Structure 1
């Protein structure tokens, strides 16, 4: 085990405590709570060394998690916590577990008291408040987690006036991750956060989008192309490819797009 540094780095009169992550070496964190959210989705809460420790993950970045698949072979996969460094003493992961998923097997087998090996931070995206006027976000399935992290950071910062327009696509209603939290943010920040759900197989009563995310949906629910906006996307590879083509056709330049 290890202890997080209590050293504080000060820059431009803002002080940041060093976190518990190591970009070069895996560190182990204890699972203290596992909550089943649906038949194949669970929320995992991991303790940090002290109640005031922070994970130390920059907004928009992710961690690498190491485990074992069903054959006992090592597997490493990236995940984005749904918590921020304002959530002291712990971090949380919302994991969708697929039947044949190698890392899904590891999370399915995890019990309270077990340890997860984590390394980070990782990722090319680094968010700074005010870097754009507005974000468009297009997420599919578990691709919601980086969008959720960035949106939370924006909305919980009273000094950040960035607006967020999220399109979130899934197959069925039950597949929607973090819906309660997303709906709560939309209700609490109506002028700053808008969300549009899209389902491929919607229930009989449904007022969201139907089918796959289309160019028309993007036009209606994302900010128009401009130098001070950016569209973030994260989903299964076929969806990412289709969304990139839609955005290109709609006039969003490469600089206006980012794929997690």
Structure 2
């Protein structure tokens, strides 16, 4: 489903936007993995109570703050490079490890922001069930690469903003002069992190641009209702999209 897709990271120079290369081989940063204790849980979207059709639900979104395993205070947490889109693998009991984006990190701790899906989802349901003081087994995975360029474009679908916005923030802090984020959701109620986005826009005025589009409603200041397609990408980013070679 469109809203379940991970954000597409686009980079380029001038009017040409290149899809950033992601390495196929990923290695586990096992030395920093282990039991991570939950320190705090913050709710961004409460979500609708059951009763509506699933396709019309606004689903809950939470941020969990975990302590690094083994009291590790080195940065980046778990060796996970947020600015390159590396992921945190969470070991789900009775199931395979699940990848989540690290939405923030500080010395000694890190955040995972996720959406809770209905129907007894093993992954999001497990994360949602962890109580403060309890722990989960985690490890970092991934060694992505950034292609050279002065223009960075990111496309986030739904909760994919939890990967895209931290990458955008990191690029802006590095001094990248042009960062453009396109965020697509079903409805405005599915969006969050409004203050965080506004703060980045204020801090990096002229360098950070955000465009939003909703598939099920029109809203002032957004693109016309619809889904992300080649026409929308061309309108937002300009020029063509060039896939990386090799």
Pair in the same fold by TM > 0.5? yes
2:52 maps to 1:32: no
1:117–1:53 Cα change, 3 Å: same
Match of 2:80 in 1: 57
2:127 maps to 1:138: no
TM, length-normalised to structure 2: 0.72
1:25 positional shift: 8.2
2:203 maps to 1:193: no
Q: Is the contact between residue 67 and residue 108 of structure 2 (CA under 8 Å) also seen in structure 1? A: yes
Extract unaligned runs of 5+ from structure 2. Answer: 1-27, 47-59
Match of 1:113 in 2: 133
1:74–1:26 Cα change, 3 Å: farther
Moved over 6 A (4+): none
2:220 maps to 1:206: yes
1:217–1:115 Cα change, 3 Å: same
2:168 maps to 1:151: yes
Match of 1:88 in 2: 107
Match of 2:244 in 1: 255
1:51 positional shift: 7.9
1:121–1:51 Cα change, 3 Å: closer
User: What secondary structure does 2:99 align onto?
Assistant: strand
Higher-RCO chain (CA-CA 8 Å, sequence separation at least 6): 2
Match of 1:75 in 2: 96
Q: Is the contact between residue 213 and residue 227 of structure 2 (CA under 8 Å) also seen in structure 1? A: yes
User: What secondary structure does 1:80 align onto?
Assistant: strand
1:134 positional shift: 0.6
Provide the C-alpha distance between the structure 1 equivalents of 2:73 and 2:177, rounded to a whole number of angstroms: 29
User: What secondary structure does 2:96 align onto?
Assistant: strand
The CA RMSD measured in Å over matched residues stands at 2.3
Q: Is the contact between residue 88 and residue 140 of structure 2 (CA under 8 Å) also seen in structure 1? A: yes
TM, length-normalised to structure 1: 0.69
Aligned length: 198
Q: Is the contact between residue 75 and residue 102 of structure 1 (CA under 8 Å) also seen in structure 2? A: no
Provide the C-alpha distance between the structure 2 equivalents of 1:156 and 1:50, rounded to a whole number of angstroms: 27
